[in-house]
C-alpha cells in the first residue's frame, strides 16, 4: 500500500492531488486534438472534463492492486500547471505497475513530464516495492517514447495493430524498467 504525503517535491515541480478547481485547465489541455491524438479518448468537452476531474480527485493513494495514483504537475516556483502523471498498481502478486503522463502543450520541451514521471517511478519502486513498471503508448507517439527512454526504460515490444482506437487499428509500443535497473541507475545519479 502507498499513501504518499502530498504534495511531492522534485527539483522544479510539485506533484499534488487534483482539486475541483483544476476543471478549467484540464478542459483546456485535454480538450486539444493535438494532446489527445494518441490517447484513448477524444478531446474533452465540458462534461468529459468534469468526469475526469471527479475521477482524478479521488486518485490519491494505491491501497490495492487496480488502484491509480493520478497527480497534477505544477511548477513549484510559479504554480503553473504543466500536466499530469499517473502510477497504476496493475498486479500485487507479480508486483507490477504502469506509468502514464499527459503534458500541457504550452509547457512541453522543458523536461517537466520526464521529471514528474521519474518521481512516479521512484514511488513505484521505492514506495510500493514494485518489481517492474511499464509504459505503454501508441507507437506513433515518438515524443512519449523519448520520455520513456530518458527515464531509462527499454523498448520491449512493438505490437502490430493490437488495438482499435478512434476508428483505426493502432500499433502499441511497450517499454519497461525493473527495480534492480532503477536501483543501479539511481546509484549512478
Q: What is the mean pLDDT of residues 158-163?
A: 96
Average pLDDT across the chain, whole number:
96
Q: Are 82 and 93 in contact (CB under 8 A)?
A: no
What pLDDT, in 10s, does the model give residues 97-133?
A: 999 999 999 999 999 999 999 999 999 999 999 999 9
Q: Which domains does the chain have, with CATH numbers?
A: 8-187 (3.40.630.30)
Cell triple for residue 184? 543501479
Q: Which residue is listed with cell 478549467?
A: 24
- Closest of 114, 92, 93, 89 to residue 103, by C-alpha: 114
Residue-level pLDDT at 113 = 96
Q: Are 150 and 170 in contact (CB under 8 A)?
A: no
Band (162; pLDDT cuts 50, 70, 90): very high
Name the strands in the sheet holding 81-91, side by side, starting at the edge strand that comes first in the sequence. 8-9, 13-17, 68-75, 81-91, 96-103, 132-138, 168-178, 154-165
Band (179; pLDDT cuts 50, 70, 90): very high
Q: What radius of gyration, in Å, describes the C-alpha atoms of the chain?
A: 16
Is the pLDDT assigned to residue 185 strictly greater than 90?
no
Residue-level pLDDT at 81 = 96
Is the pLDDT assigned to residue 7 strictly greater than 80?
yes
Residue-level pLDDT at 128 = 97
Q: What is the mean pLDDT of residues 57-70?
A: 97
What pLDDT, in 10s, does the model give residues 46-63?
A: 999 999 999 999 999 999
Q: Is the dihedral of CA 137, 138, 144, 147 positive or negative?
A: positive
Residue-level pLDDT at 53 = 97
Amino acid at each position: 500500500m502507498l499513501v504518499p504525503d502530498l504534495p511531492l517535491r522534485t527539483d522544479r515541480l510539485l506533484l499534488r492531488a487534483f482539486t475541483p478547481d483544476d476543471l478549467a485547465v484540464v478542459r483546456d489541455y485535454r480538450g486539444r486534438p493535438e494532446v489527445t491524438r494518441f490517447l484513448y479518448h477524444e478531446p474533452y468537452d465540458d462534461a468529459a472534463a468534469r468526469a475526469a476531474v471527479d475521477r482524478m480527485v479521488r486518485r490519491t493513494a494505491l491501497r490495492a492492486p487496480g488502484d491509480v495514483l493520478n497527480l497534477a504537475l505544477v511548477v513549484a516556483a510559479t504554480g503553473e500547471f504543466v500536466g499530469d502523471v499517473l502510477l497504476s498498481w496493475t498486479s500485487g502478486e507479480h508486483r507490477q505497475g504502469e506509468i502514464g503522463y499527459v503534458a500541457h502543450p504550452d509547457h512541453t520541451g522543458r523536461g517537466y513530464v520526464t521529471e514528474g514521471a521519474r518521481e512516479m517511478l521512484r514511488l513505484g519502486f521505492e514506495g510500493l516495492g514494485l518489481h517492474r513498471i511499464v509504459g505503454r503508448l501508441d507507437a506513433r507517439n515518438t515524443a512519449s517514447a523519448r520520455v520513456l527512454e530518458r527515464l531509462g526504460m527499454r523498448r520491449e515490444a512493438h505490437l502490430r495493430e493490437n488495438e482499435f482506437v478512434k476508428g483505426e487499428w493502432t500499433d502499441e509500443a511497450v517499454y519497461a524498467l525493473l527495480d534492480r535497473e532503477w536501483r543501479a541507475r539511481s546509484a549512478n545519479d
